[in-house]
Amino acid sequence: MEKNNTDPVHPQKNNPLSIHPRNKRLIAVFWLICVILGAWQAWDARYHMDADGISYLDIGDTYFRGDWKNAVNAYWSPLYSWLLGPAMHFLKPSPYNEFPVVHLVNFISYLFALGCFHFLLLQLIGYHHFRQGKKPGDCGVIFPEWAWIALGYSLFLHSSLNMITLSIVTPDMCVSAFVYLACGILLRIRRGVKNYFTFALLGAVLGFGYLAKSVMFPLSFIFLSLSFFSFGNFRKALPRTIIALIIFMSVAGPFIIAISHAKGRFTFGDAGKFNYHHVTKFTIGRYWDDTNSVNRMFKHPPRRIFNVPKVYEFGAPVPGTYPMWYDPSYWYDGLEIHFNLENQLRVFQSTVKSYYQIFNPDFNIMFFTVFILCLMGRRKWLIVRDMSEQWSLLIPAIMALSMYFMVSAESRYVAPFITLLWLGVFSGIRLPDSDESIRLLRNIALLIGMVMMFTSTRHLIRDRYSLPDNTHWQVADAIKQMGVLPGDKVASIGYSHPYFWARLAKVRIVAEMPGEEADYFWEANNETQFKVIGAFGRTGAKVIVTKSLPGQISPAEKQKIANPDSYFDWQRIANSDYYVYKIPPSDTVAPASPVSVLDEISQEDFKTNVNRLTDIRMRQPGMLQVH
């Protein structure tokens, strides 16, 4: 076969970043596909929200209010809030359109990640050109340019739209962008661009990566170490790596200093400690007030204001829509993590299952093709050398996947690193220099691209039927009709998640009754229910919102329940599952009818009614219309 300068299999050697003209058109096509599919998902998910997103929105507002003390947060990294804050401040969306504006920010982050991945892909293609020019007889046949473009963008689509997605409101898309940039810079260094600016740029990228998510702090030192070894001359590499480290600390350092000062100890973020505690299942209650000695380590847990059923208040000193999740590091202050082998092994078992679910079935085609190509390459132990040469892609991927293996692996966490892993593995594939090998690589690239594109589109079509409407706006509008104003306090029966309606109404949830306690409340007599409502009222809450209202009760059931008719005091919000109760002024809270001799239903009596309660169907209280 003729190896000329226009051959996409053996491309031009003089300029490592030169792309064949027809491949530039292919890149444009993939960009168009990526933009269309990304916009499709962002639009379908425009009313979707999650608990993390509310905290980021609240922190963004806090920055713009100039409330620096409460803006500095050891749990949530700041960069995503810095993106959401200006969007909310300058666009000033109505409550109905607030979540769509958030997804507009997500879409812009997705486009930024697409640009960063494009940079990585160009650097990867350029690196292969560079190696072929340097060792033309040692490379064998690798994927042609167009195949790298098809493989790369297909992997990007899958990781961005299926694993991270634009529906969740988290900084994971931003993290993926900085990971792609950092790996692209490493490849740029490896192909000979070793000036101080390149290293300084790497430090800045890693610094912003840390500001996007604290997990990038330890990973940044992996990237910095790889940049040192990428240079090839340790004496010349050292000052450049030091420059990268200085730039990294200049970007990341101010926030580290701020949160360390706020906590009175060194920390680059408490999310890791919290997550490790959570997944290793230490015996700590949700509200940290149990008698267990482990729970007594906390300095300021939420305050219990009623015993049976349990009610907790947490309105101060932490701000936010839901203070419990605005800054978990405050409520967990005092937590000490101790290694427990049994718990850690349980985590490993869970993570293995998570990785299996992440890789199967979407990546089965990848495993199969790698196996076939390794057999066709007939390089035996040389495969190990071929793969090890891709360390600038594989080491960051393996280190990140190993780190999450210790704690918890979710698809959105590991998505960019799985993309790096596959790019590194396919970069290590070498086939004999023959027409058959070239045809095989082309067919496999086409097959993988088609499968991954089909998978991404299938997920979009499937997910669009499960995305929510704007129910939370209905709840926000309903409590506004009841006289609840922005800044007012509200309460919740059942865990407040999802509490997105509170963000849209600009109110604060300051007290709640845990979900497992709700049946105690519904079973209680009038006097106990009014005492609980009084406890809620004394927190300053104006209304109570719930999704846990019991349902239709038979005449036989009425004889067993102290106050079945009290359910009619709750108003249903339009056709949603939400119900709201307007708390009377605290000095008028009193039983409306004769009360039972019992003030609180006992734990034992409740247990006898659990099975009966599971059969209760929803009764039809008064309905509150939404305009």
Higher pLDDT, 114 or 438: 114
3-class secondary-structure state, position 149: helix
pLDDT tens digits for range 275-317: 887 776 554 456 655 545 455 577 888 999 998 889 999 999 9
Q: What is the mean pLDDT of residues 405-431?
A: 93
- How far apart (Å, rounded) are the C-alpha atoms in residues 73 and 260? 10
Residue 134 has pLDDT above 80, yes or no: no
- Residue 606 has a pLDDT of 39
Going by C-alpha positions, the residue among 328, 350, 203, 354 that lies closest to residue 272 is 328
pTM of the predicted model, to two decimals? 0.87
- The pair phi, psi for residue 306, each rounded to 5°, is -155, 145
Residue 540 has pLDDT above 90, yes or no: yes
Strands 303-306 and 489-493, by their bridges, are unpaired
- Token pair in block for residue 380: 């035996």
**Confidence label for 9 from pLDDT (cuts 50, 70 and 90):** very low
- Token pair in block for residue 290: 């149990």
Residue 175 has pLDDT above 70, yes or no: yes
- Residue 12 has a pLDDT of 43
3-class secondary-structure state, position 12: coil
DSSP helix, strand, coil percent of the chain (3-state; round to 5): 60, 5, 30
Residue 24 neighbours by CB under 8 Å, 6+ apart? none
Which residue's entry shows tokens 């509310």?
A: 54
- Residue 612 has a pLDDT of 37
- How far apart (Å, rounded) are the C-alpha atoms in residues 424 and 34? 22
- How far apart (Å, rounded) are the C-alpha atoms in residues 84 and 103? 10
Q: What is the mean pLDDT of residues 178-207?
A: 96
pLDDT tens digits for range 202-259: 999 999 999 999 999 999 999 999 999 998 889 999 999 999 999 999 999 999 999 9
Secondary structure string (H, E, C) spanning 24-53:
HHHHHHHHHHHHHHHHHHHHHCCCCCCHHH
- The pair phi, psi for residue 483, each rounded to 5°, is 95, 10
Helix axes 391-405, 216-231, angle to 10 degrees: 160
Angle subtended at Cα 251 by Cα 121 and Cα 230, rounded to the nearest 5 degrees: 45
Share of the chain above pLDDT 70, in %: 82
- Token pair in block for residue 489: 């306090």
- Residue 624 has a pLDDT of 55
Helical (H) or strand (E) element with 304: strand 303-306
Higher pLDDT, 163 or 289: 163
pLDDT tens digits for range 50-105: 999 999 999 999 999 999 999 999 999 999 999 999 999 999 999 999 999 999 99
- How far apart (Å, rounded) are the C-alpha atoms in residues 149 and 4? 20
Higher pLDDT, 559 or 113: 113
- How far apart (Å, rounded) are the C-alpha atoms in residues 300 and 20? 63
Most confident of 15-19, 38-42, 346-350, 496-500: 38-42
Q: Average pLDDT, whole number, for the chain?
A: 83
pLDDT tens digits for range 568-624: 578 888 778 888 999 887 533 444 332 233 334 444 443 444 333 333 333 344 455
- What torsion do the CA atoms of 326, 331, 336, 337 make, to the nearest 10 degrees? -40
**Burial of residue 176, with CB atoms counted within 10 A of its CB: 0-12 exposed, 13-18 middle, 19 or more buried:** buried
- How far apart (Å, rounded) are the C-alpha atoms in residues 495 and 509? 11
- Residue 557 has a pLDDT of 47
- Residue 419 has a pLDDT of 97
Rg (CA), the chain: 28
Residue 387 near residue 428 (C-beta atoms within 8 A) = yes
Share of the chain above pLDDT 90, in %: 52
Residue 227 near residue 186 (C-beta atoms within 8 A) = yes
Residue 311 near residue 305 (C-beta atoms within 8 A) = yes
Higher pLDDT, 553 or 268: 268
